[in-house]
Amino acid sequence: MKRTFLLLSALVIAAMILSACGGAAEEFVCEDEIGCVTYGPGEPIRIATALVISGPDSQLGLDSQYGVEIAMGFKGEVLGHPIDLQAEDDGCSAEGGQAAGQKIVSDPTILGVVGTSCSGAGVPMSKVISEAGYFMVSPSNTSPVLTDPDNAWNPGYLRTAHNDKVQGAAIADFAFNVLGLKTAAAIHDGDPYTEGLANAFRNSFEEIGGEIVAYTAVNKGDTDMRPVLTAVAAAGPPEFIYYPIFTAECAFITKQAKEVAGLENTVLAAADGCISDAAADAIGEAGEGMYFSGPDIAFTGDLYERFKETYREKYGTDTLSVFHAHAFDAANMIFACVEKVAVQEEDGTLHIGRQAMRDCLYATEGFEGITGTLTCDQYGDCADPKISVSQLQNGEYVRVWP
Protein backbone atom coordinates (compact mmCIF):
# COMPACT_ATOMS: atom_id res chain seq x y z
CA MET A 1 0.00 0.00 0.00
CA LYS A 2 2.83 2.32 0.93
CA ARG A 3 4.64 1.49 -2.33
CA THR A 4 1.47 2.25 -4.31
CA PHE A 5 1.03 5.62 -2.57
CA LEU A 6 4.62 6.62 -3.27
CA LEU A 7 4.24 5.65 -6.93
CA LEU A 8 1.07 7.70 -7.29
CA SER A 9 2.70 10.71 -5.60
CA ALA A 10 5.63 10.51 -7.98
CA LEU A 11 3.30 10.36 -10.98
CA VAL A 12 1.33 13.38 -9.75
CA ILE A 13 4.49 15.42 -9.21
CA ALA A 14 5.79 14.43 -12.64
CA ALA A 15 2.49 15.41 -14.24
CA MET A 16 2.58 18.77 -12.47
CA ILE A 17 6.11 19.41 -13.72
CA LEU A 18 5.19 18.43 -17.27
CA SER A 19 2.05 20.55 -17.10
CA ALA A 20 4.00 23.55 -15.86
CA CYS A 21 6.57 23.14 -18.58
CA GLY A 22 4.03 22.56 -21.31
CA GLY A 23 1.82 25.48 -20.24
CA ALA A 24 4.55 28.08 -20.04
CA ALA A 25 4.02 30.91 -22.53
CA GLU A 26 6.76 31.15 -25.11
CA GLU A 27 8.82 34.26 -24.45
CA PHE A 28 8.31 36.98 -27.08
CA VAL A 29 11.34 37.72 -29.22
CA CYS A 30 11.26 40.95 -31.21
CA GLU A 31 12.32 40.32 -34.79
CA ASP A 32 11.36 43.76 -36.11
CA GLU A 33 14.17 45.39 -38.12
CA ILE A 34 14.06 48.58 -36.05
CA GLY A 35 12.80 47.28 -32.73
CA CYS A 36 9.63 46.91 -30.71
CA VAL A 37 7.71 48.99 -28.22
CA THR A 38 6.20 46.92 -25.41
CA TYR A 39 3.27 47.95 -23.24
CA GLY A 40 2.45 45.83 -20.21
CA PRO A 41 -1.08 44.79 -19.22
CA GLY A 42 -3.24 47.90 -18.95
CA GLU A 43 -0.40 50.29 -19.80
CA PRO A 44 -1.34 53.10 -22.19
CA ILE A 45 -0.20 53.17 -25.79
CA ARG A 46 1.75 56.41 -26.04
CA ILE A 47 1.74 58.78 -28.99
CA ALA A 48 2.96 62.35 -29.24
CA THR A 49 1.87 65.45 -31.06
CA ALA A 50 4.26 68.11 -32.33
CA LEU A 51 2.12 71.07 -33.36
CA VAL A 52 2.32 74.85 -33.14
CA ILE A 53 0.39 75.52 -29.92
CA SER A 54 1.82 78.90 -28.96
CA GLY A 55 2.40 82.23 -30.70
CA PRO A 56 0.53 83.93 -33.54
CA ASP A 57 -0.07 80.67 -35.44
CA SER A 58 -1.28 78.68 -32.42
CA GLN A 59 -4.83 78.30 -33.72
CA LEU A 60 -3.44 76.26 -36.62
CA GLY A 61 -1.84 73.79 -34.21
CA LEU A 62 -4.50 73.78 -31.52
CA ASP A 63 -7.10 72.96 -34.16
CA SER A 64 -5.10 69.84 -35.06
CA GLN A 65 -4.40 69.03 -31.40
CA TYR A 66 -8.12 69.00 -30.73
CA GLY A 67 -8.63 66.73 -33.73
CA VAL A 68 -6.22 64.17 -32.25
CA GLU A 69 -7.83 64.40 -28.82
CA ILE A 70 -11.29 63.85 -30.28
CA ALA A 71 -10.01 60.81 -32.19
CA MET A 72 -8.64 59.42 -28.93
CA GLY A 73 -11.94 60.04 -27.19
CA PHE A 74 -13.96 58.38 -29.93
CA LYS A 75 -11.63 55.36 -29.98
CA GLY A 76 -11.37 54.94 -26.22
CA GLU A 77 -8.97 52.01 -26.21
CA VAL A 78 -6.84 50.07 -28.67
CA LEU A 79 -6.67 46.32 -28.02
CA GLY A 80 -7.76 46.91 -24.45
CA HIS A 81 -5.13 49.57 -23.77
CA PRO A 82 -5.88 53.25 -23.10
CA ILE A 83 -4.17 55.90 -25.22
CA ASP A 84 -1.85 58.50 -23.72
CA LEU A 85 -0.81 61.71 -25.46
CA GLN A 86 2.34 63.80 -25.00
CA ALA A 87 1.95 67.25 -26.56
CA GLU A 88 4.99 69.15 -27.84
CA ASP A 89 5.17 72.57 -29.52
CA ASP A 90 6.81 72.66 -32.96
CA GLY A 91 7.04 76.47 -32.77
CA CYS A 92 6.30 76.63 -36.50
CA SER A 93 10.07 76.83 -36.95
CA ALA A 94 13.05 74.66 -37.79
CA GLU A 95 14.42 75.12 -34.28
CA GLY A 96 11.10 74.16 -32.72
CA GLY A 97 10.76 71.07 -34.88
CA GLN A 98 14.29 69.94 -34.06
CA ALA A 99 13.77 70.41 -30.32
CA ALA A 100 10.38 68.69 -30.28
CA GLY A 101 11.73 65.76 -32.27
CA GLN A 102 14.71 65.27 -29.98
CA LYS A 103 12.50 65.34 -26.90
CA ILE A 104 10.11 62.78 -28.37
CA VAL A 105 12.77 60.27 -29.44
CA SER A 106 14.40 60.46 -26.01
CA ASP A 107 11.36 58.55 -24.71
CA PRO A 108 11.37 54.93 -25.95
CA THR A 109 7.77 54.40 -24.81
CA ILE A 110 6.40 56.79 -27.46
CA LEU A 111 5.23 54.88 -30.51
CA GLY A 112 4.88 57.69 -33.05
CA VAL A 113 3.86 61.25 -33.75
CA VAL A 114 1.02 63.29 -35.20
CA GLY A 115 2.77 66.40 -36.48
CA THR A 116 4.19 68.76 -37.36
CA SER A 117 1.92 71.70 -38.11
CA CYS A 118 4.43 73.62 -40.21
CA SER A 119 6.58 72.28 -43.02
CA GLY A 120 9.49 74.38 -41.77
CA ALA A 121 9.38 72.39 -38.54
CA GLY A 122 8.69 69.16 -40.36
CA VAL A 123 11.89 69.14 -42.41
CA PRO A 124 14.34 68.86 -39.46
CA MET A 125 11.97 66.88 -37.27
CA SER A 126 11.34 64.22 -39.90
CA LYS A 127 15.10 63.55 -40.02
CA VAL A 128 15.30 63.19 -36.23
CA ILE A 129 12.24 60.96 -36.10
CA SER A 130 13.40 58.81 -39.01
CA GLU A 131 16.91 58.22 -37.70
CA ALA A 132 15.49 57.15 -34.32
CA GLY A 133 13.18 54.60 -35.95
CA TYR A 134 9.91 56.36 -35.14
CA PHE A 135 7.22 57.56 -37.56
CA MET A 136 5.26 60.79 -37.95
CA VAL A 137 2.00 61.58 -39.75
CA SER A 138 1.49 65.28 -40.38
CA PRO A 139 -1.99 66.75 -40.63
CA SER A 140 -0.89 70.03 -42.22
CA ASN A 141 2.60 69.87 -43.77
CA THR A 142 1.99 70.63 -47.43
CA SER A 143 5.43 71.48 -48.84
CA PRO A 144 6.29 69.29 -51.84
CA VAL A 145 9.84 68.74 -50.55
CA LEU A 146 8.70 66.59 -47.62
CA THR A 147 7.53 63.72 -49.81
CA ASP A 148 10.19 64.18 -52.49
CA PRO A 149 12.83 61.42 -52.19
CA ASP A 150 15.34 63.66 -53.93
CA ASN A 151 14.80 66.41 -51.38
CA ALA A 152 13.65 66.31 -47.74
CA TRP A 153 11.74 63.01 -47.52
CA ASN A 154 12.80 60.63 -44.75
CA PRO A 155 11.59 57.06 -44.11
CA GLY A 156 8.80 57.09 -41.54
CA TYR A 157 7.32 60.37 -42.74
CA LEU A 158 3.71 60.56 -43.97
CA ARG A 159 0.96 63.17 -44.16
CA THR A 160 -2.80 63.36 -44.48
CA ALA A 161 -2.59 66.94 -45.80
CA HIS A 162 -2.49 67.64 -49.52
CA ASN A 163 0.71 68.22 -51.49
CA ASP A 164 1.00 71.89 -52.45
CA LYS A 165 1.61 70.93 -56.06
CA VAL A 166 -2.17 70.44 -56.04
CA GLN A 167 -2.91 73.69 -54.22
CA GLY A 168 -0.58 75.73 -56.43
CA ALA A 169 -2.33 74.46 -59.54
CA ALA A 170 -5.76 75.13 -58.04
CA ILE A 171 -5.15 78.77 -57.10
CA ALA A 172 -3.49 79.40 -60.48
CA ASP A 173 -6.57 77.99 -62.20
CA PHE A 174 -8.83 80.17 -60.05
CA ALA A 175 -6.88 83.37 -60.74
CA PHE A 176 -6.44 82.79 -64.48
CA ASN A 177 -9.66 81.06 -65.51
CA VAL A 178 -12.21 82.17 -62.91
CA LEU A 179 -11.09 85.72 -62.18
CA GLY A 180 -9.66 86.21 -65.66
CA LEU A 181 -6.39 87.70 -64.39
CA LYS A 182 -3.36 87.26 -66.64
CA THR A 183 -0.48 88.80 -64.64
CA ALA A 184 0.57 87.87 -61.13
CA ALA A 185 3.27 88.09 -58.48
CA ALA A 186 4.16 85.62 -55.75
CA ILE A 187 5.73 86.37 -52.37
CA HIS A 188 7.17 83.86 -49.86
CA ASP A 189 9.30 84.06 -46.71
CA GLY A 190 11.87 81.34 -47.39
CA ASP A 191 10.03 78.71 -45.35
CA PRO A 192 9.64 75.32 -47.09
CA TYR A 193 5.86 75.71 -47.00
CA THR A 194 5.67 79.27 -48.26
CA GLU A 195 8.37 78.93 -50.90
CA GLY A 196 7.07 75.56 -52.06
CA LEU A 197 3.53 76.83 -52.53
CA ALA A 198 4.58 80.13 -54.12
CA ASN A 199 6.75 78.19 -56.56
CA ALA A 200 3.96 75.71 -57.34
CA PHE A 201 1.63 78.63 -58.08
CA ARG A 202 4.24 80.31 -60.27
CA ASN A 203 4.85 77.17 -62.32
CA SER A 204 1.16 76.41 -62.78
CA PHE A 205 0.22 80.00 -63.62
CA GLU A 206 2.86 80.16 -66.32
CA GLU A 207 1.89 76.74 -67.68
CA ILE A 208 -1.69 77.87 -68.34
CA GLY A 209 -0.60 81.07 -70.05
CA GLY A 210 -0.25 83.60 -67.24
CA GLU A 211 2.70 85.92 -66.71
CA ILE A 212 4.59 86.14 -63.42
CA VAL A 213 5.94 89.68 -63.23
CA ALA A 214 7.60 89.27 -59.82
CA TYR A 215 8.67 86.37 -57.62
CA THR A 216 10.20 87.60 -54.39
CA ALA A 217 10.52 87.12 -50.65
CA VAL A 218 10.12 88.86 -47.32
CA ASN A 219 11.79 87.79 -44.08
CA LYS A 220 9.99 86.19 -41.18
CA GLY A 221 9.51 88.87 -38.57
CA ASP A 222 9.44 91.75 -41.06
CA THR A 223 6.83 94.40 -40.30
CA ASP A 224 7.51 96.88 -43.09
CA MET A 225 6.53 95.19 -46.34
CA ARG A 226 6.47 98.40 -48.41
CA PRO A 227 9.92 98.00 -50.03
CA VAL A 228 9.01 94.56 -51.39
CA LEU A 229 5.53 95.68 -52.41
CA THR A 230 6.93 98.76 -54.13
CA ALA A 231 9.29 96.55 -56.13
CA VAL A 232 6.38 94.28 -57.06
CA ALA A 233 4.35 97.27 -58.24
CA ALA A 234 7.28 98.54 -60.30
CA ALA A 235 7.57 95.17 -62.04
CA GLY A 236 4.01 95.19 -63.32
CA PRO A 237 1.99 96.09 -61.58
CA PRO A 238 0.39 92.64 -61.34
CA GLU A 239 -3.34 92.05 -61.39
CA PHE A 240 -2.98 89.38 -58.69
CA ILE A 241 -0.58 88.86 -55.77
CA TYR A 242 -0.35 85.47 -54.06
CA TYR A 243 1.45 85.36 -50.72
CA PRO A 244 1.03 81.97 -48.99
CA ILE A 245 2.65 82.93 -45.67
CA PHE A 246 1.71 82.88 -41.99
CA THR A 247 -0.47 85.13 -39.87
CA ALA A 248 1.78 88.02 -38.83
CA GLU A 249 3.48 88.67 -42.17
CA CYS A 250 0.23 87.96 -44.02
CA ALA A 251 -1.50 90.72 -42.06
CA PHE A 252 1.28 93.25 -42.70
CA ILE A 253 1.30 92.60 -46.46
CA THR A 254 -2.48 92.84 -46.64
CA LYS A 255 -2.67 96.11 -44.73
CA GLN A 256 0.22 97.77 -46.56
CA ALA A 257 -0.47 96.64 -50.14
CA LYS A 258 -3.24 99.16 -50.74
CA GLU A 259 -0.92 101.96 -49.59
CA VAL A 260 1.52 101.27 -52.44
CA ALA A 261 1.00 103.17 -55.68
CA GLY A 262 -0.02 100.85 -58.48
CA LEU A 263 -1.47 98.14 -56.25
CA GLU A 264 -4.74 99.86 -55.37
CA ASN A 265 -6.74 97.55 -57.64
CA THR A 266 -4.59 94.44 -57.37
CA VAL A 267 -6.43 91.32 -56.18
CA LEU A 268 -4.83 89.83 -53.06
CA ALA A 269 -4.73 86.17 -52.08
CA ALA A 270 -3.15 84.17 -49.27
CA ALA A 271 -3.37 80.52 -48.26
CA ASP A 272 -4.14 78.11 -45.40
CA GLY A 273 -1.31 79.44 -43.23
CA CYS A 274 -3.42 82.57 -42.87
CA ILE A 275 -6.84 80.96 -42.32
CA SER A 276 -7.94 81.22 -38.69
CA ASP A 277 -9.99 83.51 -36.52
CA ALA A 278 -6.75 85.04 -35.24
CA ALA A 279 -5.59 85.72 -38.80
CA ALA A 280 -8.91 87.31 -39.76
CA ASP A 281 -8.67 89.56 -36.70
CA ALA A 282 -5.06 90.51 -37.50
CA ILE A 283 -5.91 91.36 -41.11
CA GLY A 284 -9.00 93.34 -40.19
CA GLU A 285 -10.94 95.42 -42.70
CA ALA A 286 -7.94 95.62 -45.06
CA GLY A 287 -8.60 92.01 -46.03
CA GLU A 288 -12.24 92.48 -47.00
CA GLY A 289 -12.77 90.71 -50.31
CA MET A 290 -9.35 89.05 -50.55
CA TYR A 291 -9.03 85.34 -51.32
CA PHE A 292 -7.54 82.33 -49.54
CA SER A 293 -6.69 78.91 -50.93
CA GLY A 294 -6.66 75.85 -48.71
CA PRO A 295 -8.07 72.39 -48.12
CA ASP A 296 -11.75 72.08 -48.90
CA ILE A 297 -13.35 71.50 -45.51
CA ALA A 298 -16.93 71.19 -46.73
CA PHE A 299 -16.99 67.73 -45.16
CA THR A 300 -20.26 65.84 -44.88
CA GLY A 301 -21.57 62.80 -43.07
CA ASP A 302 -22.63 61.76 -39.59
CA LEU A 303 -19.05 61.30 -38.36
CA TYR A 304 -18.13 64.92 -39.10
CA GLU A 305 -21.33 66.19 -37.54
CA ARG A 306 -20.50 64.22 -34.39
CA PHE A 307 -16.93 65.55 -34.57
CA LYS A 308 -18.05 69.20 -34.77
CA GLU A 309 -20.54 68.76 -31.95
CA THR A 310 -17.87 67.20 -29.73
CA TYR A 311 -15.40 69.96 -30.66
CA ARG A 312 -17.85 72.67 -29.61
CA GLU A 313 -18.79 70.89 -26.38
CA LYS A 314 -15.21 70.09 -25.39
CA TYR A 315 -13.44 73.31 -26.38
CA GLY A 316 -16.23 75.89 -26.34
CA THR A 317 -15.68 77.07 -29.90
CA ASP A 318 -16.22 76.16 -33.51
CA THR A 319 -13.23 74.73 -35.36
CA LEU A 320 -10.29 77.13 -35.18
CA SER A 321 -8.58 76.42 -38.49
CA VAL A 322 -8.66 73.97 -41.41
CA PHE A 323 -6.68 70.83 -40.52
CA HIS A 324 -8.64 69.39 -37.57
CA ALA A 325 -10.14 66.58 -39.67
CA HIS A 326 -6.74 65.76 -41.18
CA ALA A 327 -5.38 65.32 -37.63
CA PHE A 328 -8.36 63.16 -36.68
CA ASP A 329 -7.72 60.94 -39.70
CA ALA A 330 -3.98 60.76 -38.96
CA ALA A 331 -4.63 59.51 -35.43
CA ASN A 332 -7.11 56.91 -36.64
CA MET A 333 -4.67 55.64 -39.27
CA ILE A 334 -2.20 55.04 -36.45
CA PHE A 335 -4.77 53.25 -34.27
CA ALA A 336 -5.78 51.03 -37.21
CA CYS A 337 -2.17 49.99 -37.79
CA VAL A 338 -1.60 49.19 -34.12
CA GLU A 339 -4.56 46.82 -34.32
CA LYS A 340 -3.07 45.18 -37.42
CA VAL A 341 0.56 44.72 -36.38
CA ALA A 342 0.60 44.40 -32.57
CA VAL A 343 1.41 41.02 -31.01
CA GLN A 344 -0.74 40.55 -27.92
CA GLU A 345 0.02 38.10 -25.14
CA GLU A 346 -2.61 36.33 -23.05
CA ASP A 347 -2.17 38.80 -20.20
CA GLY A 348 -2.76 41.74 -22.55
CA THR A 349 0.88 42.76 -23.04
CA LEU A 350 1.39 44.39 -26.44
CA HIS A 351 4.50 44.26 -28.60
CA ILE A 352 4.49 46.68 -31.54
CA GLY A 353 7.21 46.61 -34.17
CA ARG A 354 8.45 50.02 -35.28
CA GLN A 355 9.21 48.92 -38.85
CA ALA A 356 5.92 47.03 -38.93
CA MET A 357 4.10 50.26 -38.07
CA ARG A 358 5.89 52.12 -40.84
CA ASP A 359 5.11 49.38 -43.35
CA CYS A 360 1.47 49.31 -42.33
CA LEU A 361 1.06 53.08 -42.61
CA TYR A 362 2.64 53.22 -46.06
CA ALA A 363 0.36 50.34 -47.12
CA THR A 364 -2.77 52.27 -46.12
CA GLU A 365 -5.30 51.90 -48.91
CA GLY A 366 -8.95 52.90 -49.10
CA PHE A 367 -8.99 54.21 -45.52
CA GLU A 368 -12.26 56.04 -44.96
CA GLY A 369 -11.72 59.23 -43.00
CA ILE A 370 -13.50 62.52 -42.55
CA THR A 371 -11.31 64.09 -45.24
CA GLY A 372 -12.07 61.40 -47.80
CA THR A 373 -10.65 58.05 -48.83
CA LEU A 374 -6.95 57.92 -47.97
CA THR A 375 -4.39 55.84 -49.83
CA CYS A 376 -0.69 56.35 -49.11
CA ASP A 377 2.07 56.18 -51.68
CA GLN A 378 5.60 54.97 -50.96
CA TYR A 379 6.72 58.44 -49.89
CA GLY A 380 3.85 59.21 -47.55
CA ASP A 381 1.39 61.29 -49.56
CA CYS A 382 -1.91 59.91 -48.27
CA ALA A 383 -4.43 62.69 -48.85
CA ASP A 384 -7.57 62.67 -50.90
CA PRO A 385 -6.71 66.22 -52.02
CA LYS A 386 -9.49 68.71 -52.47
CA ILE A 387 -8.72 72.44 -52.64
CA SER A 388 -11.16 75.31 -52.31
CA VAL A 389 -10.93 79.10 -52.37
CA SER A 390 -12.57 81.27 -49.73
CA GLN A 391 -13.14 85.01 -49.60
CA LEU A 392 -12.99 87.17 -46.50
CA GLN A 393 -16.44 88.73 -46.11
CA ASN A 394 -17.26 90.73 -42.97
CA GLY A 395 -14.51 88.94 -41.08
CA GLU A 396 -15.66 85.45 -42.13
CA TYR A 397 -14.06 83.02 -44.56
CA VAL A 398 -16.75 82.24 -47.13
CA ARG A 399 -16.15 79.43 -49.62
CA VAL A 400 -16.54 80.75 -53.17
CA TRP A 401 -14.88 78.10 -55.38
CA PRO A 402 -15.35 75.49 -56.64
Q: What confidence score (pLDDT) does residue 25 get?
A: 58
Query: For the segment 89-123, what is each residue's pLDDT rounded down to a tens digit?
Result: 999 999 999 999 999 999 999 999 999 999 999 99
Using only the alpha carbons of the chain, give its radius of gyration.
Answer: 26
Please report the pLDDT score of residue 20 as a whole number: 42
Which parts of the chain sit beneath pLDDT 50? 1-23
Neighbours of 120 (CB within 10 A): 28
Please report the pLDDT score of residue 14 as a whole number.
Answer: 44
Name the strands in the sheet holding 343-344, side by side, starting at the edge strand that comes first in the sequence: 36-39, 350-353, 343-344
Q: What would the pLDDT profile of 15-41 be if each residue is shown by its tens digit? A: 444 444 444 558 899 999 999 999 999
The pLDDT value recorded for residue 26 is: 80
List domains and CATH numbers for the chain: 36-161+299-385 (3.40.50.2300), 165-289 (3.40.50.2300)
Q: What is the pLDDT of residue 1?
A: 42
CA 151 remoteness from chain centre: 19
Pairing of strands 343-344, 350-353: antiparallel
φ and ψ of 15, to 5 deg: -65, -40
Instruction: For residue 14, give the amino acid letter.
Output: A
Specify whether the CB–CB gap between 201 and 244 falls below 8 A. Answer: yes
DSSP 71-132: HHHHH-EETTEEEEEEEEE-TTSHHHHHHHHHHHHT-TTEEEEEE-SSHHHHHHHHHHHHHT
The conformation of residue 44, written as its DSSP 8-state character, comes to: P
* Amino acid present at 392: L
For 18, other C-beta atoms within 10 Å of its C-beta total: 10
